[in-house]
Structure 1
């Protein structure tokens, strides 16, 4: 065997100054345990997303034109931190407003504040702050890199600001094009957002409407606030109840600061949903089940124009979408 390369490497190592050699040390079993015992990955993210056109084509076409997600003023969307964990059985991981509960327990926030007290009651668990998960659950928690002053709730709630813009949402067919929405610009703040993939592929459950869904669900839970926005609602329905054709909305705000369901939301609107494979109890079709959908918030439209003329200020208080299930499949 030619030992020259090994002897050369040994000579190079011995020639290093003592501080350099001092960093090289063997790992015993306890040392290895300390390394392998660490879990999870943290991603610090800065981005700007643009999309010229997204089109779904069937007999006709539906297009979203000029989509942009960025920071305010078309800057980078920054100060984002995503933690990714594969949970152990019963492991408590960050979720929702668990960071506020952690600060409250440390005496950094006033527990006399009803929202703070609610967060402490919900997220302070024996194993830490957050929510307990099952073995193999994949948990993604989106928050901020820098929340500012740990004693100021306003800093926490304004840590991640965003801007969402769309030029047009349009349908196209043999008889021409129809704008559904146009000139959409929404500015606001993104609160705690969680994506959880449940490790229950071998299980199924029955929803209240009889649909069978897989236990391997994708769960979405998010808090957010729209602080300012405008859009043209050219030809569309709101949850199949209100037709808002030829409507212009300015100064749009979506939050949760009024009414009876504000507790624990810190003034932010809240949305949740679960997605999984499912089977319809009515038609028997297999498809994508979107279930346990919920939205709660207040909506302010200080400038509400119909046909170019303002009809005044329109407000929704305690606007809630609940008990909503959809089964999506091709036909």
Structure 2
């Protein structure tokens, strides 16, 4: 391999004029090794995603129409804070995202997701109908889904020693609405914030709910390799501004200091 690299380099140098060759000094392998890999890669992202229809098929199918992922196109998320948490103008683009990618000395890969400029990243996720279909019948299970929220940060780390992918993130949902037609149920103005976020004295640092989980492979009860997910920490306050049954509000819901921890899940086919 080293001989091939030197041969290709020699062919490339041979094509240069003599005047240029006078200033070229070939580097040995040690010097090249000290130069290569000293910095990672940074990606600045601005995007919007649209999918007309997503279909998952087993024997029957689940179809999700009109999936859209982009910016919230708002500057008034969590209006009680009295500030634009994104520090950006309103846009329907998912933007203000910087992704740093590094491979560390021990081989671990680290992907760090941050705002490109100071402020959180706003997002909107919306869909049309979610429909279960079979050879004869179909059911509309979900419709009119829309979620507006903020992403504070996120880190993905692939650990070469444990063969685990760790995911750490913090986010908040300003408003989520959806309908469940087959139950005549509607949810309006669902919000999710950090546990302890106080609406009467809101603080930006308390806004975000934190998620800490690991993803890896592990055997199930039958010894078959499966997708394993360990949820170590999820804590949040959850409020629902309106619960509709048959189109009529039956009240509101609030869950204070919801904590999910020590949760293990295996996913596999059957």
Determine the structure 2 residue equivalent to 1:252: 190
Per-residue CA distance 1:146-179 (angstroms, 9 max, x = gap): 11xxxxxxxx3x3x11111111222111342212
Determine the structure 2 residue equivalent to 1:289: 228
Determine the structure 2 residue equivalent to 1:146: 117
Per-residue CA distance 1:55-95 (angstroms, 9 max, x = gap): 1111111122211110124722111100001112xxxxxxx
1:298 to 237, 245, 251: 237
* CA positional deviation for 1:7: 11
1:220-299 pair list within 5 angstroms: 220-235=167-182, 245-256=183-194, 258=196, 266-280=206-220, 282-299=221-238
Determine the structure 2 residue equivalent to 1:69: 69
Determine the structure 2 residue equivalent to 1:191: 152
Q: TM-score scaled by structure 1?
A: 0.63
Determine the structure 2 residue equivalent to 1:124: none
1:1-331 pair list within 5 angstroms: 9-10=17-18, 35-36=35-36, 38-73=38-73, 75-88=92-105, 135-147=106-118, 156=119, 158=120, 160-200=121-161, 215-235=162-182, 245-256=183-194, 258=196, 266-280=206-220, 282-331=221-270
Match of 1:181, SS state, is: strand
Q: TM-score scaled by structure 2?
A: 0.76
Per-residue CA distance 1:173-222 (angstroms, 9 max, x = gap): 1342212221111111111111111102xxxxxxxxxxxxxx31121111
> Which runs of 5 or more residues in structure 1 are unaligned?
1-5, 14-23, 89-134, 148-155, 201-214, 236-244
Determine the structure 2 residue equivalent to 1:117: none
* CA positional deviation for 1:42: 0.7
- RMSD of equivalent CA atoms: 3.2
Could you tell me whether the CA contact under 8 Å between 1:230 and 1:252 is conserved in 2?
Answer: yes
Could you tell me whether the CA contact under 8 Å between 2:195 and 2:258 is conserved in 1?
Answer: no
Q: Distance in 1 between matches of 2:31 and 2:251?
A: 68
Single out whichever of 26-35 and 59-68 deviates more from structure 2.
Answer: 26-35
Distance 1:222 1:8, change over 3 A: closer
Q: Distance in 2 between matches of 1:234 and 1:83?
A: 42
Could you tell me whether the CA contact under 8 Å between 2:195 and 2:257 is conserved in 1?
Answer: no
Match of 1:258, SS state, is: coil
* CA positional deviation for 1:285: 2.8
Match of 2:206, SS state, is: coil
Q: Distance in 2 between matches of 1:68 and 1:222?
A: 22
Q: Distance in 2 between matches of 1:37 and 1:27?
A: 19
Could you tell me whether the CA contact under 8 Å between 2:143 and 2:179 is conserved in 1?
Answer: yes
Distance 1:8 1:190, change over 3 A: closer
Distance 1:42 1:50, change over 3 A: same
